Amino acid sequence: MERSVLFADVAGSTALYEVLGDERAFALVERCLALMGECTAAAGGRVVKTIGDAVMAVFDTPDAAADAAVAMQRRVEALGPELGVRLHLRIGFHAGPVVERGGDLFGDSVNLASRLCDLASKGQVVVDADTAQALSAARAVQLHPLYRVPVKGKQEEIALVELGWQAPTPEQTVIASVPPPSTAHARLVLAFDELALEMGPERRKVTIGRDHEADLTVRDRSASRAHAMIERRRDRFVLVDHSSNGSFVTFEGRPEVVVHHEELPLVGRGWVAFGQPLAEAGQRLEFRCVDTPG
């Protein structure tokens, strides 16, 4: 039978336990799970099971899964300010054939939905291209193609698509595109404090923010907990800003630009400051694109 399988988990739950303590963090995660269950039921779906801080749910249609995913993100995000924390979900769903036994679901569609959730960043809803095509026209305007990734058990790479759920705000800005690198073997070298990282085929994502679980932890209060990330999309590297105060990017030999709730390809060499201009930042990220022989 054909079903839409959705996985959603509370991103950064480990950091919540550090910040709030065991009792408060556990109660908060339980409240998030309850909200996710309510959103599932409201969209006509069923919670199959909870796994730690994650929910697995099933729906009759991709649109129902999309409705639930958007409602989950909005309700959990709204819950955070009440408690003085920032809450985010990572959600992935896939429409396809499943096998049901004893109320549980099995099959390739379940595995792919779980993998899509793993690939999602904080506050992101991710589907594959086939599921995106099955969504109604009303949802199509919210879809944003991302990049292709290899998935275990699949011969071909899976094309990822983001389902947008946040209403646009007046302060959102559009950043002009910078041409991506032409090489098919590009790598991005990052230097932050004493840490050096290299992105390429083996490492496709780096998260940045005040969150203890971020790959690069920013100490300045001007930065958001889940401030930004850098993603490898085929052979280019894209800075994706999710923050309150923006990311300040300076390409070598160019003026500083502000990326706020937008994306910007990183090319050549430059620097990024988080939450404030580069000249005022105590920490800065240096990046350098490197072309390697084919």
**Which is more confidently placed, 74 or 140?**
74
In the chain, the domains with their CATH numbers are: 2-163 (3.30.70.1230), 186-291 (2.60.200.20)
Most confident of 105-109, 163-167, 176-180, 231-235: 105-109
179 or 25, greater pLDDT = 25
pLDDT attached to residue 183: 42
Q: What confidence score (pLDDT) does residue 185 get? A: 65
Tokens of 207: 């998260």
CA angle at 165 for the pair 53 and 150, rounded to the nearest 5° = 65
Band of pLDDT at residue 18, cut at 50, 70 and 90: low
pLDDT band, very low/low/confident/very high, at 123 (cuts 50, 70, 90): confident
Q: Which of 43, 59, 44 is nearest to 7 (CA)?
A: 59
Alpha helices in the chain (DSSP H): 13-20, 22-42, 62-83, 108-119, 129-134, 137-140
Residue with tokens 């509370």: 10
The average pLDDT across 162-167 equals 82
Please tell me the least confidently modeled range out of 148-152, 269-273, 283-287.
Answer: 148-152
Average pLDDT of 119-134? 89
Least confident of 9-13, 15-19, 90-94: 15-19
Maximal C-alpha separation, the chain: 63
Model pLDDT, residue 127: 94
Task: Using the predicted structure, report yes or no on whether residue 171 has a pLDDT greater than 80.
Answer: no
8 Å CB contact between 80 and 73: no
Q: How confident is the model at residue 165 (pLDDT cuts 50, 70, 90)?
A: confident
Predicted TM-score (pTM) above 0.75: no
Q: State pLDDT tens for residues 38-88.
A: 999 999 999 999 988 899 999 999 999 999 999 999 998 888 776 667 788
Quote the pLDDT of residue 83.
64
